[in-house]
């Protein structure tokens, strides 16, 4: 019998526009892009020029500090644009596809016969290495490290998220292969976190149990129970000096395909969701697809602005309508912008259209109501006044406000002591959501992690 880890703290925010469990037919994207800005802390080194022909899996840029880490094209075609921002910062490398599906082939042997080094080399060479995000810091892993464990969260508990059980239903074989690859990468455990709801009916369960070296942890709780950071902290918390690798389920499938077929296949499942989407559902696309393919799916009314988010509404990044799906994201959310003034909003007794965890409004009366939330702050920023709020939505043994204050004071020792190694932005995203003082928790946390990286390097 599996042990169920029950998480009491957390919050499920129910939003309108949850994806229906069907695959929609999207038009073929005419552009794909790889965005160096998706990779935190990366200094990219461009290796292609405008007009170059690329295959699926051809490197577009490298990590300047670790050139063995390659970032490759998701499709075959021609480099049609290289976009730069301020100070010539590389923003995106755009590929116009030729739909030829011309792959770069990698030599893969039987996994059992390959050494860890050989496996890592294939992963590096194929461009799959950026799949691995390390904790602490939430940056691309270092290929020279041997992680003490690998963690995969098989469910996303954030609002409007992908249900991997549905999304990966046809990929069970690749998933299994991918898991075998993972088990070769660490001396410790490969940990899979599944939700209590997934017990029994899921593709994950039966597949996993056949593979050695795998631990399945069952989590029962509200968001952020599906965050890999939360799962790590309950299974094998990160102490100073520890390194853990994390990878998303879809990337495990891609890893499986790499070692099954020898190719970098960037095909993945993405959900288009949110209250401003005509018919929210799942799509099969290649990573980096231009989201303009969804333009006819997004509601347009002249008086209402939309916000398109690559990633979750709690911790994703705003993108424009001619932008591309983020490398790690499998969720595009479209919600209304909240640029309006609300007369005496805070004094309105009901405000039924708004959601609050606090009982000072009345959303507690209808726990199943779905909300059409917009991007308004619903208040103005203040100093920390209330206490105990963040703790209610953070199921980790961390004092978030003390950590944030240590970051604001730039006290490296205190940050370390208060557990900065254990969290990244998404873990504290709900704290930002519930904050009475409207403090930009995630921004502060990232600045703390950045100073930590600088200090330790």
Partner 1 sequence: MILKKIVEKLKPTFSKGGKLGMFHSTFEAFESFLFVPETVAKPKGSHIHDSIDLKRTMSVVIMAVMPAMLFGMWNTGYQHFLSIGEEVSFIDTFFYGFFKVLPLIIVSYVVGLAIEFTSAQIRGHEVNEGYLVTGILIPLIMPVDVPLWILALAIIFAVIIGKEIFGGTGMNIWNPALLARAFVFFAYPSKISGDKIWVAGLENAQNVADGFSGATPLSFAASNEIDKLPDTMDMFLGIIPGSIGETSTIAILLGAALLIFTGIASWKIMASTVAGALCVGFLANALGGTPYLEIPAWQHLIMGGFAFGAVFMATDPVTSAQTETGKWIYGFFIGAIAVIIRLFNPGFPEGMMMAILLMNTFAPLIDHCIVQANIKKRMKRKSIL
Residues 328-367 interacting with partner 1 (rule: CB under 8 A)? 333, 335, 337-347, 351, 354-361
Please identify which residue in 62, 418, 449, 452 interacts with partner 1, judged by CB under 8 A. Answer: 418
Pick the closer one to partner 1 by CB: 126 or 310: 310
Q: Decide: is 376 part of the binding site for partner 1 (CB under 8 A).
A: yes
Q: Scanning the structure block, which residue is given the tokens 């999304």?
A: 167
Q: Decide: is 377 part of the binding site for partner 1 (CB under 8 A).
A: yes
Residues 71-130 interacting with partner 1 (rule: CB under 8 A): none
Pattern 206-245, binding to partner 1, x per CB under 8 A? Answer: ------------------------------xxxxxxx---
Q: Decide: is 434 part of the binding site for partner 1 (CB under 8 A).
A: yes
Residues 267-306 interacting with partner 1 (rule: CB under 8 A): none
CB 198 within 8 A of CB 155: yes
- Dihedrals phi, psi of 68, to nearest 5 degrees: -70, -20
Q: Decide: is 397 part of the binding site for partner 1 (CB under 8 A).
A: yes
User: Cis (ω within 30 of 0) for the bond into 224?
Assistant: yes
Strand order in the sheet with 32-34: 32-34, 90-97, 77-84, 53-54
Pick the closer one to partner 1 by CB: 202 or 236: 236
Task: Specify the DSSP element, H or E, that contains 20.
Answer: strand 20-23
Determine the distance from the C-alpha atom of residue 324 to the mean position of all C-alpha atoms in its chain, rounded to a whole number.
15
- Candidates 1-9, 172-180, 286-294, 422-430: pick the segment binding partner 1 (CB under 8 A): 422-430
Distance, first Cα to last Cα, the chain? 44
Pattern 129-168, binding to partner 1, x per CB under 8 A? Answer: -------------------xx-------------------
Pattern 174-213, binding to partner 1, x per CB under 8 A? Answer: -------------xx-------------------------
Pick the closer one to partner 1 by CB: 62 or 308: 308
Q: Scanning the structure block, which residue is given the tokens 């799906």?
A: 325
Pick the closer one to partner 1 by CB: 17 or 127: 17
- Candidates 255-263, 281-289, 296-304, 432-440: pick the segment binding partner 1 (CB under 8 A): 432-440
Q: Decide: is 435 part of the binding site for partner 1 (CB under 8 A).
A: yes
Quote the DSSP letter at residue 219: E
Q: Decide: is 385 part of the binding site for partner 1 (CB under 8 A).
A: yes
Pick the closer one to partner 1 by CB: 167 or 308: 308
Pattern 40-59, binding to partner 1, x per CB under 8 A? Answer: --------------------
Q: Decide: is 12 part of the binding site for partner 1 (CB under 8 A).
A: no
Separation in Å, CA 404 to CA 91, 112, 382:
30, 46, 14
Pick the closer one to partner 1 by CB: 86 or 110: 86
Determine the distance from the C-alpha atom of residue 292 to the mean position of all C-alpha atoms in its chain, rounded to a whole number.
21
Q: Where are the alpha helices (DSSP H) in 127-248?
A: 164-167, 172-185, 203-209, 228-235
Q: Rounded to the nearest whole angstrom, what is the least distance from the CB of residue 112 to partner 1 in the complex?
A: 23
Q: Decide: is 391 part of the binding site for partner 1 (CB under 8 A).
A: yes
Separation in Å, CA 49 to CA 45, 55, 97:
12, 14, 15
Q: Decide: is 318 part of the binding site for partner 1 (CB under 8 A).
A: yes
DSSP string, 274-320: STTBSS-EEEEEETTBBGGGGGGGB--BTTB-EEEEES-TTT-EEE-
The two beta strands, 331-336 and 306-310, are antiparallel
Angle at 38 between CA 287 and CA 22, to 5 degrees: 35
Q: What gap in Å lies between CA 124 and CA 68, rounded to an integer? A: 6
Q: Rounded to the nearest whole angstrom, what is the least distance from the CB of residue 309 to partner 1 in the complex?
A: 6
């Amino acid at each position: 019998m599996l042990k169920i880890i029950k998480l009491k703290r957390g919050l499920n925010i129910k939003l309108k526009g949850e994806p229906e469990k069907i695959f929609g037919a999207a038009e073929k994207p005419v552009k794909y892009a790889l965005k160096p800005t998706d990779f935190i802390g990366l200094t990219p080194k461009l290796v292609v020029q405008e007009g170059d022909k690329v295959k699926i899996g051809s490197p577009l840029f490298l990590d300047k500090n670790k050139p063995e880490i390659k970032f490759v094209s998701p499709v075959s075609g021609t480099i049609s644009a290289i976009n730069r921002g301020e100070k010539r910062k590389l923003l995106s490398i755009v590929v116009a596809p030729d739909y030829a599906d011309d792959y770069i082939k990698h030599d893969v042997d039987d996994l059992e016969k390959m050494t860890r080094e050989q496996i890592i080399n294939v992963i590096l060479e194929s461009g799959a290495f950026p799949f691995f995000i390390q904790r602490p810091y939430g940056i691309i892993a270092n290929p020279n490290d041997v992680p003490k464990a690998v963690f995969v969260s098989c469910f996303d508990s954030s609002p409007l998220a992908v249900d991997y059980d549905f999304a990966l239903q046809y990929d069970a074989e690749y998933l299994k292969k991918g898991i075998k690859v993972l088990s070769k990468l660490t001396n410790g455990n490969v940990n899979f976190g599944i939700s209590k709801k997934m017990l029994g009916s899921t593709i994950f369960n039966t597949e996993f149990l056949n593979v050695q070296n795998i631990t399945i942890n069952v989590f029962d709780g509200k968001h952020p129970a599906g965050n890999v950071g939360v799962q790590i902290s309950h299974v094998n918390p990160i102490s100073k000096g520890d390194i853990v690798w994390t990878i998303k389920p879809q990337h495990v499938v891609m890893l499986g395909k790499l070692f099954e077929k020898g190719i970098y296949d960037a095909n993945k499942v993405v959900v288009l969701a949110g209250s401003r989407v005509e018919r929210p559902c799942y799509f099969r696309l290649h990573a980096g697809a231009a989201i303009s393919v969804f333009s006819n799916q997004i509601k347009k009314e002249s008086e209402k602005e939309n916000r398109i988010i690559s990633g979750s509404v709690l911790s994703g990044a705003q993108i424009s309508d001619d932008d591309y799906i983020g490398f790690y994201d499998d969720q595009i959310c479209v919600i209304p912008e909240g640029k309006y003034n609300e007369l005496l909003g805070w004094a309105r007794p009901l405000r039924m259209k708004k959601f609050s965890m606090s009982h000072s409004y009345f959303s507690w009366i209808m726990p199943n109501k779905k909300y059409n939330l917009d991007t308004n702050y619903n208040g103005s920023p203040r100093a920390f006044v209330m206490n105990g709020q963040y703790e209610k939505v953070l199921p980790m043994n961390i004092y978030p406000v003390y950590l944030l204050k240590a970051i604001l004071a730039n006290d490296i020792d205190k940050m370390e002591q208060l557990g900065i190694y254990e969290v990244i932005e998404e873990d504290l995203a709900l704290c930002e959501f519930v904050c009475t003082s409207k403090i930009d928790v995630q921004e502060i946390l990232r600045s703390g992690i950045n100073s930590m990286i600088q200090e330790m390097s």
